[in-house]
Chain A
Amino acid sequence: MNPLIFTTILMTVLLGTMIVMMSSHWLMIWIGFEMNLLAIIPILMKKYNPRTMEASTKYFLTQATASMLLMMAIIINLMHSGQWTITKVFNPTASIIMTSALAMKLGLTPFHFWVPEVTQGISLTSGLILLTWQKLAPMSILYQISPSINLNILLTMAVLSILVGGWGGLNQTQLRKIMAYSSIAHMGWMTAVLVYNPTLTMLNMLIYIMMTLTMFMLFIHSSSTTTLSLSHTWNKTPLITTLILITLLSMGGLPPLSGFMPKWMIIQELTKNSSIILPTLMAIMALLNLYFYMRLTYSTSLTMFPSTNNMKMKWQFETKRITLLPPLIVMSSLLLPLTPMLSILD
């Protein structure tokens, strides 16, 4: 793509999310969502093969439907409250429709079907933008309407998302689909605590974005999109192999690494609000996620995965230079001792 056009379109994606996050008028928020959707379509279609076209079309259809539902919820809210400012949504019908629309945008169950298919059909960099930046705008709106969200619907969607994200990722060997199911599960964790303490949702979002960014950067560095291809990194850059191990275990939520921090805080907040069964179930279902991360680490860093001898040397033209990879790796694995600093938040 022409670099000037590409920069313009990428800046428009950023502008769309910024407009969503800083507007106080519901119509401007809707305009921000539409601008975001319009501008990300050519980014998803950077390579011109039928698979990317299909993935972009699926993304466009689902997100446009979600925007339509959002507009309907905005208008019902206008009818019942007579004003356009973002506060809690006063009418229960509008609140349920808006929650469903934002769940469709995030990829929560039962609206999760587009996430693996779209993530698989596009390139690794586009998948990175899709799974990290595109989650910011809907989550910011959920944060702002969180006092009025119907608890039953949101918690049902959250628990089912954790379940689907864990179970669905079990049979995958394609790395982009694994990241997509991991995204579904993490979105479930984020929305589970939204009604109780929205600050923890933002904490989880921050740490999730850091870990997903790190994982995608590591995949881009080794140009691998399948488990088999990832298992050959020990031959090229053994350091990257070790870092893949550490970052994957952090994503699974294991204690000395920073991925444990959001899960710990969320379980603590849920138990403070006297729900015991829910966080137990969530923690148990996070084990499914941990299983397929561990399977990746097993085939990548812990064993020499079986392959023929001529496949052991990976062919690559020159080493890719990945910006900010060391700080990202440090942040996505070593932040746990900073947990007491969370007391400075509200």
Chain B
Amino acid sequence: MMTYIVFILSVIFVVSFVGFSSKPSPIYGGLVLIVSGGVGCGIIVNFGGSFLGLMVFLIYLGGMLVVFGYTTAMATEQYPEVWVSNTTVMGVFLLGLLMEVMLVLYVLKSEEVGVVFKFSGVGDWAIYDTGDSGVFSEEIMGVAALYSYGAWVVIVTGWSLLVGVLVILEVTRGD
């Protein structure tokens, strides 16, 4: 099972995406977002990026999603939608699940899968230790490169975040 752990985590990832994109109430969307965030962290850690995976947990789940949960709890309604309460939501959820199950069976059965692009069945999801990264870890070097060679990216993303705050304040201010 450990060889295909990335595949299993990807399946759980897609299923939780189906769970919130079938649009139940935001509280339940946040719930599956937690699951998908944790599973996404697992995928990243399996590729050797332990720092970035823990960053997902800390910043995404522990910062952004907590704030999202609090604001949703303030704005929630008396009877929030679950996946089984509304026929439409349940229908979309089951349809997404069905498509994912069919895709998983297709990937498991055949040697080569060509959906939008070709990949070689389940084989592409097993992590082999290819490449000689030497004595350092590549992902932490990438993070370091962001702040040295990628200074322009830091400026652009920092400016986008500032303008994001301004835009949100402007949009929700009303008249």
- A interface residues (Cβ-Cβ under 8 A, vs B): 1, 5, 8-9, 12, 15, 19, 28, 31, 34-35, 38-39, 41-42, 45, 48, 76, 79-80, 91, 93
Residue in contact with B159 in the complex, picked from A12, A76, A80, CB distance below 8 Å? A12
Q: Is the CB of A9 within 8 A of B156?
A: no
What per-residue 1/0 map shows which CB atoms of B155-175 lie under 8 Å from chain A? Answer: 011011001101100110011
Q: Is the CB of B160 within 8 A of A31?
A: yes
Contacts of A48 in B (CB 8 A): 174-175
Q: Is the CB of A5 within 8 A of B160?
A: no
Q: Is the CB of B171 within 8 A of A35?
A: no
Residue in contact with B170 in the complex, picked from A1, A35, A91, CB distance below 8 Å? A1
Residue in contact with A76 in the complex, picked from B116, B153, B157, B160, CB distance below 8 Å? B116
29 A-B pairs whose Cβ atoms sit less than 8 Å apart in the complex: A1-B170, A5-B166, A8-B163, A8-B166, A9-B166, A9-B167, A9-B170, A12-B159, A15-B159, A19-B156, A28-B152, A31-B156, A31-B157, A31-B160, A34-B160, A35-B156, A35-B163, A39-B163, A39-B167, A42-B167, A42-B170, A42-B171, A45-B170, A45-B171, A48-B174, A76-B116, A79-B117, A91-B117, A93-B117
Docked pose: A333 CA to B67 CA in angstroms: 55
B interface majority secondary structure: helix
A interface majority secondary structure: helix
Question: When A76-B116, A93-B117 are in contact, do A41 and B157 touch as well, CB less than 8 Å?
Answer: no
Docked pose: A34 CA to B156 CA in angstroms: 11
Contacts of B167 in A (CB 8 A): 9, 38-39, 41-42
Docked pose: A81 CA to B160 CA in angstroms: 29
| Chain B proximity of A18: nearest CB distance (Å) | 11
Docked pose: A165 CA to B116 CA in angstroms: 32
Docked pose: A42 CA to B157 CA in angstroms: 19
The list of the 5 closest CB pairs from A to B, nearest first, reads A42-B170, A12-B163, A48-B175, A35-B160, A42-B167
Docked pose: A5 CA to B170 CA in angstroms: 8
Contacts of B153 in A (CB 8 A): 28, 31
Q: Is the CB of B171 within 8 A of A41?
A: yes
Docked pose: A45 CA to B170 CA in angstroms: 9
Residue in contact with B163 in the complex, picked from A31, A38, A76, CB distance below 8 Å? A38
Contacts of A12 in B (CB 8 A): 159, 163
Q: Is the CB of B117 within 8 A of A9?
A: no
Q: Known contacts A48-B174, A93-B116; can you find 9 more A-B pairs with CB under 8 A?
A: A8-B163, A9-B170, A15-B159, A19-B156, A31-B156, A38-B160, A38-B164, A41-B167, A76-B117
Nearest neighbor of A42 in chain B, beta-carbon distance? B170
| Chain B proximity of A227: nearest CB distance (Å) | 30
Docked pose: A31 CA to B164 CA in angstroms: 13
Contacts of A42 in B (CB 8 A): 167, 170-171
Docked pose: A9 CA to B152 CA in angstroms: 20
Contacts of A35 in B (CB 8 A): 156, 159-160, 163
| Chain A proximity of B23: nearest CB distance (Å) | 14
Contacts of A1 in B (CB 8 A): 170
Contacts of A38 in B (CB 8 A): 160, 163-164, 167
Docked pose: A8 CA to B163 CA in angstroms: 8
Docked pose: A38 CA to B157 CA in angstroms: 13
Nearest neighbor of B119 in chain A, beta-carbon distance? A79
Nearest neighbor of A75 in chain B, beta-carbon distance? B117
Contacts of B159 in A (CB 8 A): 12, 15, 35
| Chain A proximity of B17: nearest CB distance (Å) | 13
| Chain B proximity of A148: nearest CB distance (Å) | 16
Docked pose: A93 CA to B175 CA in angstroms: 46
Docked pose: A57 CA to B156 CA in angstroms: 25
Contacts of B174 in A (CB 8 A): 48
Docked pose: A1 CA to B166 CA in angstroms: 11
Docked pose: A213 CA to B144 CA in angstroms: 46
Nearest neighbor of A48 in chain B, beta-carbon distance? B175
Nearest neighbor of B116 in chain A, beta-carbon distance? A93
What per-residue 1/0 map shows which CB atoms of B114-147 lie under 8 Å from chain A? Answer: 0011000000000000000000000000000000
Contacts of A8 in B (CB 8 A): 163, 166
